Amino acid sequence: MLHCEAVAVGKRYGRGPWILRDIDLRLAPGDVLAVLGANGSGKSTLLRILAGLTRPTTGRLTGPAPGSRRAAVGYVPDRFAAQERLTAAGYLTHLGRIRGLPVTTARRRAGDLLDRLALVGGPDAALRTLSKGNAQKVALAQALLVPPDLLVLDEPWSGLDASAHTVLAELIAETAADGGAVVFTDHREAVAEARATATRALAGGRLTARADAVPSAPAPPAPPAEIVLTGPPGPAAPDWQVLPGVLALARRGPELHLRVEQPHTDAVLLTALRHGCSVRAVTRPAPPSAPDASSAAAPAPRTAAR
Amino acid sequence: MTALVRYQLTTLLLSQRYLAPLLLFTGLVAVLTSNDSGPLTAAHGAAAAAMLLAACWLTMALTGLEDRPHRALLTAATGSRLRLLTGTVLTALLGCLPLTALGLALPLLVGTHTPTAADLLLGTEAQLTCACTGTAVGLLASRPVVRRQGYGLLLALALLLALTVSKGLPPVNLLLTRLSAHHDSADLLASTALLLALAAALLAAAAALAHTVAARRD
């Protein structure tokens, strides 16, 4: 059963700018999709559309929109503010009954979830006394009272402590294992890639697939730079060979060619200028055996000549 | 639906936002009917007018309780926006029932009357007519429909004024005119029942309009 599919979805409010354009998205049971994007990139709007809470301006949405009897949609907004005088357990019991659970089942489910999430103050804490992270736990619990077919989480990791992160990851994995689809947003790539089976980036209102295969490995060491100097007059010349980072030295006519390790170029240039040398050029030669992926992206050798 | 209405009633009670409309209603009915020994239809008119204001205020308070993120959460939990709206309407009407009882009892306590069954029935019909109309106005001026609550308040006042003073306009103005002109409750029962049905239809139309506008806004 296909859980959620968005076809050519776009959204704008009134005559305002397009917040989302041509979004195509398909969620199958067991999918965990992360949507990455900067603040204000339209992540929340996209999630509200997927959850069936906001009507798209263009395109269509099929799947467990609210209203279809079988599908349970769990929605966790980025900010949670419910009636503050209710206790956490009381609130969750109300929400469980709204979702059609008998009162005893609702109360037991609420207690179990709050125990797992380790709500500070216990289930009888009034919602107004809860910190952001603890309120977020209550919001999370209400979405899971009935195992959701579609679980939509808006920035669920923010505000949660490390142990709650682990529980949230477990809850997401369990929902996916039960045949539910999960969508969540975040602005940190590392979090998203660790928890999701697929990652999409949202920018300029458009959704792009991410090259999931590219790991965030440390950058390879930069190739040495070549510095071309003239001068210095007479005996003032420094002993280039002993300067840190200088790999090779060659004289070509009046010019002096130095190969210098990148971290040391600034210091070598400073020394050269102090001794009255003139800088002719600083170049960065292309690495001799660059991997395919980065050779296309590597900038052409930069030259600063004067 | 029961669970949703129960939740909304609980939040309304805990928020204490029901207090202001309750006090307004009690005050208006008590002042307008105290030391009154005239026909009960006039007292019913006063209670109905007070109910119009109180029902509108109560509905606006109820719809203003939830902010946008939590309303979205409740929509997901109830299953649809329409179910949530229906729950809100039912909660508002349920909140008007104790006021109706109060509106029937107060004139008898502060004045001197000998009520008949027809009097009580007419009073109930009149107040429920205004409860439905007031709820309809409250829905149109509610936070999901009119974002700026100041504009919502102005819209509500304008609609209430138009409904009350436009000569011969059913249901409210016509009802109040008849209640002040006729003094025999039994004569008015049938025509007031018609007005009540009209008010209920008005409420349904207002709910449909509020639903459409709110869906576009979200």
Per CB-CB distance under 8 Å, the chain B contacts of A98 are: 3-4, 7, 74, 77-78
Q: Using CB atoms within 10 Å of the CB of residue B218, give its burial: 0 to 12 exposed, 13 to 18 middle, 19+ buried.
A: middle
Give this prediction's pTM. Answer: 0.78
Question: What single-letter amino acid sits at A54?
Answer: T
Model pLDDT, residue B71: 93
Per CB-CB distance under 8 Å, the chain B contacts of A79 are: 67, 69
Model pLDDT, residue A268: 84
Pick among A4, A44, A49, A53 to test the B interface (most B CBs inside 10 A): A53
User: Which residues are paired to A208 by β-bridges?
Assistant: A201
Residue A112, min C-alpha distance to chain B (Å): 19
Is the separation of the CB atoms in A86 and A138 below 8 Å? no
Model pLDDT, residue A232: 66
Among chain B residues, CA nearest to A54: B218
Q: Tell me the pLDDT tens digit for each residue of B171-180.
A: 999 999 998 8
Q: For residue A69, is pLDDT > 80?
A: no
User: Which residues are paired to A33 by β-bridges?
Assistant: A183, A198
Per CB-CB distance under 8 Å, the chain B contacts of A86 are: 10-11, 14
Q: For residue A144, is pLDDT > 50?
A: yes
The answer to whether the Cβ–Cβ distance between A77 and B70 falls below 8 Å is yes
Confidence of residue A171 (pLDDT cuts 50, 70, 90): very high
Strands A150-153 and A73-76 turn out to be parallel
Sign of CA dihedral B159, B207, A65, B143: positive
To which residue do tokens 């055996």 refer? A289
Counting one residue from chain A and one from chain B, the pairs whose CB atoms sit within 8 A come to 80
Q: What is the mean pLDDT of chain A?
A: 82
- Taking the C-alpha atoms of residue A156 and residue A29, their distance in angstroms, rounded to an integer, is 20
Interface of A with B (CB under 8 A): 13, 48, 51-55, 66-67, 69, 73-83, 85-86, 94-95, 97-100, 139, 142-143, 152
Most confident of A31-40, A196-205, B27-36, B148-157: B148-157
Per CB-CB distance under 8 Å, the chain B contacts of A127 are: none
Q: Tell me the pLDDT tens digit for each residue of A192-226.
A: 788 888 888 888 888 887 644 344 444 556 778 88
Average pLDDT, integer, range B146-166: 93
Is the separation of the CB atoms in A156 and A76 below 8 Å? yes
Pick among B12, B18, B70, B73 to test the A interface (most A CBs inside 10 A): B73
Structural tokens at position B111: 């004045």
Question: What single-letter amino acid sits at A116?
Answer: R
Please list, in sequence order, all residues whose beta carbon lies within 8 angstroms of the beta carbon of residue A105, skipping any fewer than 6 positions away.
Answer: A96
The answer to whether the Cβ–Cβ distance between A83 and B10 falls below 8 Å is yes
Model pLDDT, residue A291: 47
Model pLDDT, residue A300: 46
The answer to whether the Cβ–Cβ distance between A95 and B4 falls below 8 Å is no
- Taking the C-alpha atoms of residue B47 and residue A288, their distance in angstroms, rounded to an integer, is 92
Nearest of A111, A175, A52, A110 to residue B73 by alpha carbon:
A52
Q: For residue A304, is pLDDT > 60?
A: no
Q: Following DSSP, what letter does each residue of A241-290 receive, concatenated?
A: GGSTTEEEEEEETTEEEEEE-GGGHHHHHHHHHHTT-EEEEEE-PPPTT-
Pick among B71, B75, B217 to test the A interface (most A CBs inside 10 A): B75
Residue A261, min C-alpha distance to chain B (Å): 54
DSSP assigned state of A87: B
Q: For residue A1, is pLDDT > 80?
A: no
Tell me if ipTM is over 0.85. Answer: yes
Is the separation of the CB atoms in A60 and A25 below 8 Å? no
Q: Tell me the pLDDT tens digit for each residue of B33-65.
A: 888 778 888 999 999 999 999 999 999 999 999
Residue A215, min C-alpha distance to chain B (Å): 35
